[in-house]
Structure 1
Amino acid sequence: MRWFAWDRNLKIRLIGDTLFNMLYWMYFPFITLFFSDAFGKPIASMLMAVPPLVGIVGSLFGGYLSDRIGRRPAMLLGAFMQATMFAIFALSSSHWLDYIAYIGLGLGGSLYSPASSAMVADVTSEKDRRMVFATFVTGSNIGAVFGPALGSIFFYHYRSELLWTCTSVTLLYSMAILFMIRETLPATAKVAKINYNLAGLIKEQWNSYGVIFRDTIFALYIVAGILVSIAFMQLDMYLAMYVKEYVPGQTLIAFRNASFALTSPQIFGWMLGLNGLLFVVCVLPVTKCFEKWSERNILITSSLLFGIGMFMIGLTTNIWLLFAFTIVFSIGELSRAPVTQSFVSNYAPSHARGQYMGASNLQFSIGRFFAPLTIFLSSWLSSLEVFGFILLVTLISSAIYIKLFRILPDSYNNKEKQINS
């Protein structure tokens, strides 16, 4: 599906999301250090445990709103909240107010995300969803590659200007959603509006998500996603520790009397940079190559490639082998990204797509919560045993995916075969 043939909603949102993600990655990598300097490491570590919990609540509520009042209103609420919080952050003279604004930014993003993904599914055919989601993943990762490099300059030296720029871009994007994007909520999802009090809203939301989580197939999908997410999160956790403690600085290239060497932190930085670059350059080609593959085979292969690639890193300290294995686990990671959203889009009933998207986000939030377990295990286990644990969770994830697709209704499997044919 060529970009020129896309629905106008998608074109506007691709541009807006890409710009916003660029700005997001200009401040997000440095926010923990910012609060550590402000409050001290012990307090900052406790404070930074709150945003993932807020994200879980926000994502579930955002999915509920997108199915009850519409994708566009839920996206507007999240986008305008982010613009407001950026402005508060820019005007603030208190670190506690900075923290509240940061929590608000996370909440706004969590409200926005399920409705955003549901809208993509609403306006694309099942056949084109993988490539469209892959394009959005590419746009997001452009920011992840270039944002930190720019943020290392602007966040520390021009923070006020950066935050006002974030405010302006987010506000303009919110206005574009308000005036240029149409509602896509399916007619089957429209129900009579009832004036609930807060307790009534919470009760209905609880009942709605209760139905989703009693869905055995979707529950297995969430559990498998949590396990593989624990592995994915190690890029910023145990992998960083391993490279710092076990990988010595070494020469990357030597030519005659000249050489170019990297320290341990620089080697880790290059590995992350390679991972981000592969996401930008290879998501679309890899998605195209796997176009005829079933969702089952892609999800299983993705988990296995990531686990094997990470485990192989634990067998070497050679810089070129580290880069080679980074490519292996990166292909596993990036091949999965578009399929997870297309699976939920195709599996969820159209009238509950937003809530399924919100529930699907739990796999990343819960995975992030349990990911530090590897740091805890490293106090008792060798590095190879920790990498073995990472491989184990991906193997279990693969086994759950196998079971999941065995019990999927034949109607879903037949439909997917028609889409891929």
Structure 2
Amino acid sequence: MPSLRSSVADQFGGLSRQVWILFAGTVVSRLGYLVTPFLVFYLASRGISAEQTPYILGALGAGHLIGPMLGGLLADRLGRRPTMLIGLVGNATANGALFVAPGVVTLALAALALTMAGAMVGPAAYAVLADTVAPERRRAAYSLFGWGVNVGTAVAGVLGGFLAEHGYWLLFAVDVVCALGYALIVVVFLPADRSARRAARENGGAGYGVVLRDRLMLALLPLFGVQLAVYSLTAGATVYTHFSPAVLWWTALLAGISAALVIMAMGPAIARRTALAETRAESSGLALTA
């Protein structure tokens, strides 16, 4: 059985500089995913009632819906790098606005901006990968990007529970620093875009007309929607059961350990994945999630 190191080297060796820049930035960004999991507790500490909280959480969800669509559109129109910077700086600004928002309406607007800006970054980053990685290497590049999300999220869960016990302002501070840190990585290390129109032509076009003509994508979208809805209900129920942040910290710790085990198991899985059909691999992942 191949070791984790050799499997990672075989799978990810030779990827472009842009891929590793995005991987590093993604880890930094996901380390700052602290406010959202603890938002219910923060709202309770601000005196927001149980009747008012769903309006703010609903705005949070609406941002997740709008952000990716807006991010994909701007990535094609303005360029990948500018869209990422807009999203990251906007996310940092929205974190500050959420912390100081005086009432339910302003809290809801700040929550909407927070997730909308944050969700804009992913589509632009994926577009960078599509622009800079050869088709036969994109599977490895997307896998590495997802690995960065898992590593950062695993650490963030444990870190968030610890910081919440010492003051919610620390969660906001870390989120702002991480978002701006990723923005700095993009400014300093990520090369400037090619022409957005040229990149679109080389990748088969731009805009949502391309998506609507893709029958496989249209078939998969409802399935992804159901999967995310179930996951969101489960995650929301965890923090909405009025457990203390300490209990949520232990939950996050167990989730972090689970994520670490998955990361360690990825070596052998990566080595054998090329022999698996994509649909079988996706079905296996969904079964494990269930």
TM-score scaled by structure 1? 0.55
Cα distance in 2 for partners of 1:7, 1:58 equals: 27
1:283–1:230 Cα change, 3 Å: farther
Taking only aligned residues, the RMSD between alpha carbons, in angstroms, comes to: 3.5
- Whether 1:300 aligns to 2:287 is no
CA contact (8 A) 1:78 1:111 kept: yes
Q: Which residue of 1 aligns with 2:49?
A: 40
The CA deviation at 1:161 is 4.1
CA contact (8 A) 1:131 1:288 kept: no
Cα distance in 2 for partners of 1:73, 1:266 equals: 36
Cα distance in 1 for partners of 2:85, 2:250 equals: 41
Structure showing greater relative contact order (alpha-carbon pairs closer than 8 Å, 6 or more residues apart): 2
Cα distance in 2 for partners of 1:233, 1:166 equals: 21
1:169–1:143 Cα change, 3 Å: closer
Query: Structure 2 counterpart of 1:187, which letter?
Result: R
Cα distance in 1 for partners of 2:110, 2:238 equals: 31
Q: Which residue of 1 aligns with 2:4?
A: none
1:103–1:290 Cα change, 3 Å: same
The 5 A counterparts of 1:3-402 are 5-24=14-33, 26-37=34-45, 38-89=47-98, 92=100, 94-96=102-104, 97-182=106-191, 183-184=193-194, 185=196, 187-189=198-200, 208-209=207-208, 212-233=211-232, 235-236=234-235, 272-303=255-286, 306=287, 329=288, 333=289
1:156–1:34 Cα change, 3 Å: same
1:66–1:45 Cα change, 3 Å: same
- What is the aligned-residue identity percentage? 19
The CA deviation at 1:9 is 2.0
1:167–1:46 Cα change, 3 Å: closer
Q: Is the radius of gyration larger for structure 1 or structure 2?
A: 1
Query: Structure 2 counterpart of 1:8, which letter?
Result: R
1:139–1:220 Cα change, 3 Å: same
Query: Structure 2 counterpart of 1:23, which letter?
Result: G
CA contact (8 A) 2:91 2:114 kept: yes
CA contact (8 A) 2:96 2:172 kept: yes
Cα distance in 2 for partners of 1:167, 1:187 equals: 34
Cα distance in 2 for partners of 1:223, 1:62 equals: 20
Query: What is the SS of the residue equivalent to 2:135?
Result: coil
CA contact (8 A) 1:135 1:284 kept: no
Give the paired residue count. Answer: 269
CA contact (8 A) 1:134 1:287 kept: no
Cα distance in 1 for partners of 2:177, 2:237 equals: 37
CA contact (8 A) 2:42 2:168 kept: no
Cα distance in 1 for partners of 2:176, 2:235 equals: 28
1:148–1:269 Cα change, 3 Å: closer
The CA deviation at 1:78 is 0.6
The CA deviation at 1:49 is 1.6
Cα distance in 1 for partners of 2:170, 2:229 equals: 36
CA contact (8 A) 1:79 1:112 kept: yes
Cα distance in 1 for partners of 2:255, 2:237 equals: 13
Query: What is the SS of the residue equivalent to 2:52?
Result: helix
The CA deviation at 1:116 is 0.9
TM-score scaled by structure 2? 0.77
